[in-house]
Structures are given as structure tokens and as C-alpha cells.
Structure 1
């Protein structure tokens, strides 16, 4: 049996889009062409995510307004989930709503308590156009919801409320990278 290469090992680390970049605040387009360009994008996304020490990355976070995200994320039982989803749709988000710490590679160094459901199901296709259904619980469910939000043009700060939101906004204004 041939071992599959580790994702990202031949990818290019791309520049991260930061909060304020218009690509992060608009819904991404459906992927319609499958082939080597999409495979290269996914490989580069893994390389970029690993270089930034993230657990998920949406294509618009590297300036590509297409509906693709990658992940290498544990759930609350420390089971590793590794993969990518093209044209994902969040089809279920339910269970208990948990207020938990959330950060984002497009808001480096910042974190805020963000409400998310503890179970999520995402459907889409893989890079070959084959159907994919991914179910996550706990931290992985948070990751799936976070990445789907990105592809809809939403950044997690938009889900933060009250004092946590004011604190996050202050931190954003102080950040050296702030757009």
C-alpha cells in the first residue's frame, strides 16, 4: 500500500489576509474547476496553515475568494481530523451552545470568547469532486463553523458580543497589523 504524502509538504506558504482585507468580508465563489490548480491551492493552504500554527484555514484567508477550506484539528477527545472540503455547506449546527476561546490566523495574537454549537456537520466535495460529509464535536465543531463563516464573508469577531466584543475591538485597534 502506497503511503499518501503529508499535506502541505510541497506547498508554498502564502501571505495571510488580515482583518480589513475586503476578501475576508465577502462571500466566496463556488469552485467550478477541479484539477491541478485546485490541488495546488489546497497544498499551499495546508503549508500556510501549518506555518502559522493553525488548525483550519479558508481560501480567502490567503486572498483566494473560493469556497475551500483545510483543517488539521483535534476534537475534545484529542482525535485528529485532517482534510479539506470544497464548496462546503454547514448543514447542521446543534447541541449545546458553548462560549469558548476562539482565535483566527487573520487576527493574529487575538482571542475572544465566542459562542458556537458543540456539534456541526459540513457537506461538500473533495478536490476530485467526490461527495464529503464531515461531522465534528467540541473543538472540531468550532473549527468547522469558523471556517464556513469565513467562506460566507464573516470573521469570528462578528459573533462576539458585549464586553468581550468591546475588549476585542480595543485589541484590534492596538494591533500593529490592524487594517
Structure 2
């Protein structure tokens, strides 16, 4: 089932999400619906808060340049270490349609998480996968990629966001 994606301005996108446990109802159906929604929206990642749920869950599916598919569910993730050189890449977001900006993030991360079968992992990711994971992780911490922009950039797109999303005075 395709789920509605929350758009910038919805307060759920700014909430820090809570952990879930094995008793969480219909987790596999939720994950399937999240993938269906992400595919329909032509995204490469989707977090639970983007569909209105304040839980620590996100999904990713990304095909790299070598046609190798990376598809993973992250439940209750925790970034252990964010390190390496700064990598600047263009980011967009399903909750901020038509906004694409250069964002600086660290090139490497170590993250602990559970998959959909509640198997625990501790993994290292780098490059673009690290960037995608950090982007989705931000969502479950109540952050958006625009929060990583410098003050001048925020100022320059502030009016654009207000017009696009019919917002009154909105603080980033």
C-alpha cells in the first residue's frame, strides 16, 4: 500500500523518534508499505517519520554505479562513530520536494542496528552509502538535510520554502 509522505512543515518531521521492540505490530507489513511508497516516489530512502510514525526505523535501496544493489532495513539504529574527510554531495528529500542542495557530511560511519528479523548488526559504511544512511538517520532524530546548510544558504531558501509549503514564520 502506498502511504502518504509528510511534507516540510509537519511537526512530526521535527520529533526525535522512539525505539521499538519485537512486539511492534505488523512491522513486516509496515516495511513492505514503506518500500512500495519509496518506489512510487522514486526515492532511495524513507524513514518512519516521513510517513507519520515517530519510531526509529528507516529503509534504503540504492543501486551503485557497478549495478550492485544495496537494500536494507534499519531498526533502532545508533551511529557509533562518524569520521573521515568531509564529503559534499547533492541531497534531496521526499519531504522537501524540489529542494536539492549541496550538503557536507563525514565520509565514514559505524552504525549499530537491527534488521527486519531483529538480527543485530554493527557495520561500517563509507562514501555515498554513508551519506544516504546519515540523511535517513537525521529524520529519526527530528532533523532535515537543510539543517546542515550554513546560515546564508538557509536565508536564501527560506522564502522559497515558505512559498512552496505555504508556511507562516517558520524557524529551521
Tell me the TM-score normalized by structure 2. Answer: 0.88
- Which secondary structure state, in structure 2, belongs to the residue aligned with residue 27 of structure 1? coil
Indicate the residue corresponding to 2:83 in structure 1. 94
Counterpart pick for 2:12 among 19, 23, 40 = 23
Q: Distance in 2 between the 1:123 and 1:76 partners?
A: 26
Question: Are the aligned partners of 2:47 and 2:139 in contact in 1 as well (CA < 8 Å)?
Answer: yes
Indicate the residue corresponding to 1:173 in structure 2. 162
1:166 positional shift = 2.3
- Which secondary structure state, in structure 1, belongs to the residue aligned with residue 98 of structure 2? coil
- Give 1:18-57 correspondences, 5 Å limit: 18-34=7-23, 37-57=26-46
Indicate the residue corresponding to 1:80 in structure 2. 69
Indicate the residue corresponding to 1:147 in structure 2. 136
Indicate the residue corresponding to 2:150 in structure 1. 161
Indicate the residue corresponding to 1:4 in structure 2. none
Aligned length in residues:
167
1:75 positional shift = 5.1
Task: Provide runs of 4+ in structure 1 moved above 3 Å.
Answer: 33-36, 74-79
Tell me the TM-score normalized by structure 1. Answer: 0.85
Unpaired runs of at least 5, structure 2: 168-172
Unpaired runs of at least 5, structure 1: 1-11
- After superposition, the C-alpha distances for 1:77-106 in whole angstroms (9 at most, x for unaligned) are 664311101001111211111222111110
Structure number with higher strand proportion: 2
Question: Are the aligned partners of 2:22 and 2:118 in contact in 1 as well (CA < 8 Å)?
Answer: no
Structure 2 vs 1, CA of residues 74 and 121 (structure 1 numbering), >3 Å: closer, same or farther? Answer: farther
CA RMSD of aligned residues (A): 1.9
